Chain A
């Protein structure tokens, strides 16, 4: 069932001769996509379910009485076949999962870029807050100036100078790439 064109490396599932008939073979090109790999795995799992049901039917015929050793042997062999089928199916589920993630590089990258841009925007908004503070300091200065009280004016000038310094720092051209929030 594996073909040169599919991207899975799952070995052919093996079924021991005593097992019930295996599922019909899949077309070679049918394994190309994750969905189809998953479908094959579903079929293998269903087959395992059938084997289990068959084994239980045989055991329950004895209604709690001792089961002869030969029957036990056959049942255990079938149980092992069922377990192997389930492992093969799980391998295919993993292959399908790998298909799912392998196609995702671009959307994920784009989303990360978008998030980084948004983080930069958020930082910018913080600076608008600085503008408000600047306005506040200007007004503080204006208010202080109207009182004619020298100390108050000096204090207001200091605060204004500090605020301008903060803004200059933040507006300085970055020497490295802007930080992202990731």
Chain B
């Protein structure tokens, strides 16, 4: 009966597989993954970039012919550089998605491969192996695999954070600067649109069509409300981007300690905040 040689054989094989990458202790990258995931799905910036691109469509009805000419040129310019705005966002999103996968997505769960091992043994149950030994075997292999996978994962996450931080920060800063420019453009749009009513409503002589004046007032109120809601979104988008930047900086500053309790707590808080902002933006 060779059962006694099996554990030795396995340890030999396992040490080959482990190579030099065993990591001490238990590495927990759940918060890293959640933070990266929340960062990738933040939203806000893309919608506001589109809104910026489409400014002319919204303001055109309120423009005099002379001003309309200038506005058309602006429209062409905005559309020309819009694609670059989107590219920046795409690269940051892709980076965060990759970080999320590296930090422990389901595809790293190798236990189905481990079940193979179990099957290999179970298939020989009539060789006299007991269930207890099979279970222990499977448990051990799962543990070893977790260590292998975690050790490798945590090294990849660290490398990526270390190598990507400078560029991520530059791009996030750019996205924040652009969002502020979108907000200022929106501010001018709002004042152009509402300004027409500020002046023309008082100018309607008392003998004029009451229906028309009423319609104008209603329209004014509806536009004013619309802009108020939009204003909030710029703020939220900016807050979100700032949190992504700070979270990544936190990881960069704690590369050797990504599983530490305080680091995980900080990342969990950032992840929560990002999800709150995303929920706020999707209303």
A residues sitting closer than 8 Å to B (CB atoms) are: 34, 38, 41-42, 45, 48-49, 52, 55-56, 59-60, 62, 64, 66-67, 72, 75-76, 79-80, 82-84, 86-91, 93-94, 96-98, 100-101, 104, 107-108, 110-112, 114-115, 118-119, 121-122, 125-126, 128-129, 131-133, 135-140, 142-144, 146-147, 152, 155-156, 181-182
Query: What's the dominant secondary structure at chain A's contact region?
Result: helix
Known: A67-B203, A136-B116. A108 touches B167 (CB 8 A): yes
Partner of A87 from B71, B91, B94 at Cβ < 8 Å: B71
- CB pair A129–B188 under 8 Å, yes or no, is no
Given contacts A86-B188, A111-B167, whether A156 and B120 have CB atoms under 8 Å apart is yes
Closest Cβ of chain A to B41, distance in Å, is 17
* B85, CB-defined interface residue at 8 Å: yes
Are A101 and B174 within 8 A (Cβ)? yes
Which of B190-198, B217-225, B270-278 lines the interface with chain A?
B190-198
Is there contact, CB below 8 Å, between A62 and B167? no
Contact A87 B127 (CB under 8 A): no
- Are A121 and B164 in touch, CB under 8 angstroms? no
- Indicate which residue in A87, A93, A135, A140 contacts B123 across the interface (CB closer than 8 Å): A140
Contact with A along B22-65 (1 / 0, CB 8 A): 00000000000000000000000000000000010000000110
Q: How far is the CA of A38 from the CA of B187 in the complex (A)?
A: 14
Q: Which residues of B contact A (CB under 8 A)?
A: 1-3, 6, 9-10, 13-14, 16-17, 55, 63-64, 66-67, 70-71, 73-74, 77-78, 81, 84-85, 87-88, 91-92, 94-95, 98-99, 101-102, 107-108, 110, 113-114, 116-117, 119-121, 123-124, 126-127, 129, 141, 145, 148-149, 152-153, 156, 160, 163-164, 166-168, 170-171, 174, 177-178, 181, 184-185, 187-189, 191-192, 195-196, 198-199, 202-203, 205-206
CA distance A41 to B172 in the complex (A): 23
Q: Is the CB of B70 within 8 A of A87?
A: yes
- 17 additional A-B residue pairs with CB within 8 Å, beyond A101-B81, A114-B164: A42-B184, A59-B199, A59-B203, A87-B188, A94-B81, A97-B178, A104-B174, A108-B171, A111-B164, A111-B167, A111-B168, A118-B160, A122-B107, A126-B107, A132-B17, A132-B148, A146-B124
Knowing A90-B74, A94-B77, A107-B171 are in contact, say whether A49-B66 is a contact too (CB < 8 A).
Answer: no
Select one of A34, A59, A111, A128 contacting B202, CB under 8 A. A59
